[in-house]
Amino acid sequence: MKAYKLFLFSRQGCCLCEGLEGRLRDLNLDQLSPQLELCVIDIDGQTAEKYRNQYDLLVPVMAFGKNLEVDLIVLPRVSPRLKGSELFSWLQKACSGQLHND
């Protein structure tokens, strides 16, 4: 099991959410430092109401942490144009930068 999870707060039918999810699934998140496991959270689904209230108009939102309830770090909004190695590099920089800011 990975030490960190990459949470993607999204909504079914949202083209930005579905596009980002697809691009993230194409990446080898095991090669990042820290290694990440992608967890997609449908804010209209079974998730806690606080996430729906917090991210309703902002999805897609990425955050990472050990779980949803403790030390969740919300990442800056990523450009929908980034894909492949550019998205991988952005994610590496964003995650490692946030860990070193703590």
Domain assignments of the chain as residue spans, ordered by start: 4-101
What does the pLDDT look like over 47-91, one tens digit per residue?
667 888 889 999 999 999 988 877 789 999 999 899 999 999 999
Cross-strand partners of 6: 38, 64
Higher per-residue pLDDT: 49 or 8: 8
Of 22, 26, 25, 21, the closest CA to residue 9 belongs to: 21
* CATH number for the domain formed by residue range(s) 4-101: 3.40.30.10
Is the model's pLDDT at 22 over the cut of 70?
A: yes
What amino acid occupies position 89?
S
Q: Whole-structure pTM over 0.85, yes or no?
A: yes
Q: Is 82 exposed, middle or buried (0-12, 13-18, 19+ CB in 10 A)?
A: middle
Rg (CA), the chain: 13
Helix or strand run (H / E) with residue 55 = helix 49-55
Dist CA 65 CA 12 (whole Å): 23
DSSP 45: T
